[in-house]
Chain A
Amino acid sequence: MSDVISLSAAAAAEAIAAGSLSANELFDAYRARAAADRAAGEDGLNCFTWVAVDAPHAFPATDAALAGVPLAVKDLFCTEGVPSQSGSRILEGYLPPYTASAVARLADAGTSLLAKTNQDEFAMGSSNENSAFGPVRNPWDRSKVPGGSSGGSAAAVAAGLAPWALGTDTGGSIRQPAALCGIVGLKPTYGAVSRYGMIAFASSLDQAGPLTRDVRDAALMLRHMVGRDQCDATSLQFPEAIQLPTAERLDGVRLGVPEEFTGAGIEAGVLEAFQAALTHAEQLGAQISEVRLPHAPHALSAYYVIAPAEASSNLARFDGVRYGLRAADATDLLDMYTRTRHDGFGAEVKRRIMLGTYALSSGYYDAYYGRAQRVRTKIAADFRTAFDQVDLIVTPTAPTVAFGLGEKTADPLSMYLNDVCTVPMSLAGIPAISIPCGLSQGLPVGLQIAGPAFSENRLFDAAHALEQSIGFDGAFARV
């Protein structure tokens, strides 16, 4: 492994700015590794749906903050002239005429587009097995899934095929694969990052965020993503500057542990690693107490009504009329719609479109969508109450470590349960970060830290202090 690959993104940016590293050299090193993975097909990790053919002709001026740092971007971000397919057959080869705001901001800060990463189709999945372009493998164990839906982004960062990657999180799609791949992943406050140009799954939940090797990189990337965007009515001005974390201690920080996520359903090895992380926190000066999120057990049910409902509408535009797949030889309009969507969507996407369509149907709306929204309101209130008592909430990120490829594909419900710890924060719109906190069965375990809206700086500080104390070594996966 080349030395440049061992640099964090922040370290690489500093080296380029100092003139000790050439942007071209860095880009070529990563491009070669990414291209090799793509060329390896099933023998590789299958992290990418597209890899840059050449280094960009001109790297931005080196005074740009992230000058010359390559960036891997989840497939569902629109990138002008570069395939953006959201892991779906229905958008195979689709070349958008514009670039997503989050990607454009990172490009303005000096990053160059290295690759597009594989994902579950339309971000629907927790294992990356729902991609039309094949499953991604976990670099810690090729027989295991990397998590999803940002599985390609997580695996690429863990395996050192990209210095960092952009992902999206709807119910855990950044945090859960980050946990399963032993890296850092942040879901920002809803509205902190523009959604413009993100191929939508569930509009009221989708949020872009960083997948990085360490907490400092996550803060660095987020710093260059946040802010109000005129193109996204739900985006907000971040109320403060994102700081690069330096905290080494947690003195006086009150951490709340919700009993709802530390009992049944959480694997023993995961709980063990989680308890060890709490011990680290105590040693760093944190006060740990139990908190209650009484409606959290209903979060998954509410989520699997709201997200499919929005998705059923968001995915209506894939009708074969203007772009993407259109079934050949359709006999009439309905036949064209039916066959295009039959051929273009995978099984999980169809399942969720049907779920969502049903939930919004006349006569069922109140019982499903209406009730789910009321649960969502209660969950947000639960968090507000909890944050009156504690500063941050900590949970395991996922109830298990990475599971085997094909292990859960036959049972959608057990797959959905993988999001049990991450979905409540998504429904509440609050930020949450996952950091690696140890191994179980030789596979990484994630620790999730959540805070009130726009508390990202506090999350980074706490995560940074714990990261330093835990000393997780992810180099194993970067072969």
Chain B
Amino acid sequence: MFSVIIYGRNDQHGYNLHKRAAISFNALAEVMSDPDDEILFVDYNTPDDHPTFPEAIADTLTDKAKQHMRILRVRPEQHVHLKSKTHLVALESQSRNVALRRSNPKNRWILYTNTDMLLVPRTEGESLSDILGALPDGFYQIPRFEIPEMLWEAAFDRKDPAGNLAKLRDWSVRFHLNQVVHNFMPMKYDALGDFQAVLREDMFAIHGFDESMILGWHCDSNLAARLALYRGRVDTLMDKAFGYHCDHTRVAAANNKGRKTTMNSHDKYIWNVSSPYIPEQAETWGWPDATIEEVRLDRDTSYERYIAGLSQAIEPATVPFTNTSVEWHLFDDLTYDLRHTLPFVCDQVLTYPKSTAILVAGCRADFIQRFATAWRGMGFTGPVLVPQEVGLAVDDPAIRRGRFADQLKRADLFMFEFGLATQKIDDPVRVGREESLADRRQLKAVERLFRRAASTEGETRPKGRQTPRRFIGINVIYNKYWPIFTDYVGANINPFCAQVLAGIPLAEPVTMKEKVILKFKKKKAS
């Protein structure tokens, strides 16, 4: 019957976002009763190495919310062409249009709202699907009522949407919450963007939200202005449902700088709108040709993929714990426990698109072998590119061997592993083992490839790609590869236990040699 369209990203937009959003997602699902109903969440521009926002809070969502939710992930690479034109990191019009284009065509209605709204049917037991199903064609709004921060934060149980809606029915009376704030037409009510129910067909006819509105604010008013022209009227649905907003002004959101807030022009986008249509985006709104990944919370989840991949690549431990050490005298020992490290390695890649091509250059054949197995098991369809220059005899359906120079231009992600080629899976770890000649030769080869990849990353990107590619280093903590890796890659300080560092290449690599020269120059100058 209807598709709810909301958007956001995995960040902190305003006060206690996680609780607000969980309350809202669960409450929206609670008032759905048609199997075709859906909550379309556009996860816009979350960094590639992060899960989407709903995935990050999935444990706080009800089964019903997970069943109805479809997450459409817009990658930073898909946003990058707009990056220089806006100060915002998440764009409303683009997000909502991406969802509209991909909404369930069986649904007659689109409901635009936000991730902090609870919709309460006035007749208990009635669903929003029932309400919208009985409505004649039109464009409907409801007034928004505020819930004080104390109330929703302290008294709502995220996983009890029915209880939360019942509380609202009580509070609305007890605390006089229901105050209708009227507004100038075509807005009808204040904060109208929290409930605009529109025919899907109408949204297609008027070419969706205006995608030139990239400075934030008034996208909802612009839509109202255009739909009010198109339909002639703005109808109320306040006889059927009330909308409650979890107030979140304790902390200003990123798009709210008080009187200094940058926003889309009120004049241009409301008071000088002259047509419901936007002919200049008639063919392009909602990015019809873009491949938008869809993530589900009720099946094929990242966790399920992770488990599947690792289960194929490693066996469960047979001992209660194993040992390693960061004692100083073991600094040069490059042995590590592959079975312990692989889960942290897989954790680094899981949030990337399934079609990702990853270049893996390593010293240990068993690492590459097991990683490739896990890669396939996690559902990746892109290749594991292994440069022939590393010279390892590994074989897996996911592995593509080839010239490093060619693979550099194909890879979306890089992984460099610095272990001892001679280490076997059950060899002891960090007991003072020295490198053999074969180990040294292999390490040199991988290091050379790493330096070349990291220092030329900007020039070797696949055609059309603008965002820098991420580098993952394995066994690069608390050994000689720590400084080498971080000379080129901006990585955080991670615990030794994980063995993994990751980041994007520094704008200008600072090698040890360069550091010495800089120091010398400074000394000379002083």
**Are A and B subunits of one complex?**
no
Chain B residues with CB under 8 Å of chain A are: none
A interface residues with partner B (beta carbon < 8 Å): none
